[in-house]
Amino acid sequence: MPELTLAKSLNQAMRTAMAQDSRVLVLGEDVGRLGGVFRVTDGLQDEFGADRVVDTPLAESAIVGVAIGLALRGFRPVCEIQFDGFVYPAFDQIVSQLAKMRARSGGRVRLPVVIRIPAAGGIGAVEHHSESNEAYFAHTAGLRVVSCANPADAFRLLRAAIACDDPVVFYEPKRRYWDRGEVDLDAPLASLDRAMVLRKGSHCTLVAHGATVATALAAAAAAAEDGVSVGVVDLRTISPLDVDTVARCARESGRVVVVHEAATFFGLGAEIAAAVTERCFDDLRAPVARVGSYGLPYPPAKLEDEFVPDVDRVLLAVRSTLSSERSPA
């Protein structure tokens, strides 16, 4: 199997999908000649032409609006939004049109549109370039929300997203674009409904997605050096949320810590905490804890290390849950 960066695995996923299906198109700002701001679409226009890899004007609402029109005509467009904070001009197109068309048509019209969004922080960028806005779209019925964490999954998940008949908001952890790993180019498409247990633990379970999966794995490895067994679940899909897998791990360990880069206030961690508590209250030894960012606009680059959850903050939350003496019912 080839060893690819996460960015190259996404590139290969689009290349494979475009080679297999002439209806697959790529559109966005600078995706053609430049190959995208992170070079994720590098070389696709040379291989498939400017009619299938389209450089668009600087207008995110138009990018998604045109994609909706293309999908209505039978195409399977893949949009690139250059940075997470740039998606807001397209918010109305996504939540008011793209998400609702299937229900509005009584199930007769499906819109197979993928919206790729480089997400979260850690690259020293200025404001509007480091946001984690997955909760906005996960809250919107009619959308699938996917978040990849490693090169192998990025390839399988993006191919599955392109093949899906539902609209998919696809998050890519920009600070993991250069992480390398083996990628099975013949692997079957990933499920868009299932989380993955990356590490089992008997004392506590960490639940993460995207960029924070690597942080959670590092925290679990550090905890193991102190004799604490910590498991890690990679959500992979935020909507639908695989509560069954999270609940199973919660029952086994009795303690759960949710890790994400978005603000904890009204965030994904709150939904997971409620779902786990509803299903596993009698098995929990401690309240579900959350580690996220603060309820503030994303800070200047010099302060982002204080803003984004790191291994120390995750371990602090793990130690806090371990201090609980509540016995399961």
Going by C-alpha positions, the residue among 189, 186, 104, 118 that lies closest to residue 147 is 118
State yes or no: pLDDT of 80 exceeds 70. yes
Q: Which two structure tokens, joined as six digits, stand for 124?
A: 């020293």
Looking from the CA of 270 toward its CB, the CA atoms found within 13 Å total 9
Q: What does the mean pLDDT of the chain come to?
A: 96
State yes or no: pLDDT of 329 exceeds 70. no
CB of 42 within 8 A of CB of 11? yes
State yes or no: pLDDT of 25 exceeds 80. yes
Reported as a pLDDT band with limits 50, 70 and 90, residue 324 is confident
What is the per-residue pLDDT across 270-285, written as a single tens digit (0 to 9) for each? 999 999 999 999 999 9
Segment 77-85 shows an average pLDDT of 97
CB of 162 within 8 A of CB of 113? no
Reported as a pLDDT band with limits 50, 70 and 90, residue 127 is confident
The Cα–Cα gap between 209 and 258 comes to: 9
The Cα–Cα gap between 10 and 219 comes to: 27
State yes or no: pLDDT of 198 exceeds 90. yes
Q: Which residues of 161-174 are buried (b: 16+ CB within 10 A; e: fewer)?
A: bbbbebbbbbbbbb
Q: What is the pLDDT of residue 126?
A: 78
State yes or no: pLDDT of 161 exceeds 90. yes
- The active-site residue out of 128, 129, 139, 203 is 129
Cis peptide before 287 (omega within 30 of 0): no
Mark whether 129 is an active-site residue. Answer: yes
What is the per-residue pLDDT across 90-122, written as a single tens digit (0 to 9) for each? 999 999 999 999 999 999 999 999 999 999 999
Q: What is the pLDDT of residue 328?
A: 67
What is the per-residue pLDDT across 5-22, written as a single tens digit (0 to 9) for each? 999 999 999 999 999 999
What is the per-residue pLDDT across 201-249, written as a single tens digit (0 to 9) for each? 999 999 999 999 999 999 999 999 999 999 999 999 999 999 999 999 9
Which residues, 6 or more positions from 25, have their beta carbon under 8 angstroms from its beta carbon?
52, 53, 54, 70, 75, 76, 77, 78
Reported as a pLDDT band with limits 50, 70 and 90, residue 325 is low
The Cα–Cα gap between 283 and 276 comes to: 10
- Is the pTM of the predicted complex or chain greater than 0.95? yes
Residue 5 CB neighbour total at 10 angstroms: 19
The Cα–Cα gap between 6 and 285 comes to: 37
